C-alpha cells in the first residue's frame, strides 16, 4: 500500500525538484500543496503521513504548519526543505518536531539519506 506523501511549497519548480528527488522504487501517493493551509488540509484528510515542508509560503507558513502538527498530529513525519538556514529557524523547526531540515537546493542523495535515517526506506 502506498505511503501518502504531501509536498508543500509555493514554488511549482521546488515541488517538482522534490518529486524528482524521491527514490523511484519508493511506493508513495503524492499530493501537492501550494501553501500551509493546503498542507494542513492534506494532513487532515490522510494524505500526508510524510510531509515535505517549505517554511516560506503564503496564507500559512511552514512554522505555522509545524506548530499545528506539533499540537495535533505528532505522527506526521515532517521533513523541512528550505533556503532559510538561519540557526534560529533550525532551532524552532527542531523544537516543533520536524524530523530533518534539508537545505535548498535539494540534492536527491541528501533526501534519500534523510529518508533512510528516519526509517522510511
Residue whose grid cell is 519508493: 26
pLDDT tens, 97-107?
999 999 999 99
In angstroms, the CA 78 to CA 41 distance is 15
∠ CA 32-38-40 to the nearest 5 degrees?
110
pLDDT digits (tens, 9 = 90+) for 39-77: 999 999 999 999 999 999 999 999 999 999 999 866 899
Please report which confidence band the pLDDT of residue 7 belongs to, taking 50, 70 and 90 as the band edges: very high
Q: Which residue range forms the structural domain that includes residue 31?
A: 3-117
Question: Biggest alpha carbon distance in the chain?
Answer: 38
pTM: 0.95
For residue 84, what is the domain's CATH number? 3.40.50.2300
The reply to whether omega before 105 is within 30° of 0 (cis) is: yes
φ, ψ of residue 53 to 5 degrees: the values are: -125, 125
The total domain count for the chain is 1
Residue 85's pLDDT band (cuts 50, 70, 90): confident
Amino acid at each position: 500500500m502506498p505511503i501518502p506523501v504531501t509536498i508543500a511549497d509555493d514554488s511549482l519548480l521546488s515541488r517538482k525538484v522534490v518529486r524528482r528527488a524521491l527514490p523511484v522504487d519508493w511506493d508513495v501517493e503524492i499530493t501537492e500543496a501550494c501553501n500551509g493551509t493546503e498542507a494542513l488540509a492534506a494532513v487532515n484528510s490522510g494524505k500526508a503521513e510524510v510531509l515535505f515542508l517549505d517554511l516560506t509560503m503564503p496564507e500559512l507558513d511552514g512554522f505555522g504548519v509545524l506548530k499545528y502538527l506539533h499540537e495535533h498530529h505528532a505522527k506526521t513525519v515532517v521533513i523541512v526543505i528550505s533556503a532559510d538556514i538561519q540557526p534560529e529557524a533550525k532551532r524552532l523547526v527542531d523544537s516543533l518536531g520536524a524530523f530533518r531540515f534539508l537545505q535548498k537546493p535539494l540534492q536527491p542523495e541528501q533526501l534519500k539519506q534523510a529518508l533512510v535515517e528516519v526509517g522510511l526506506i
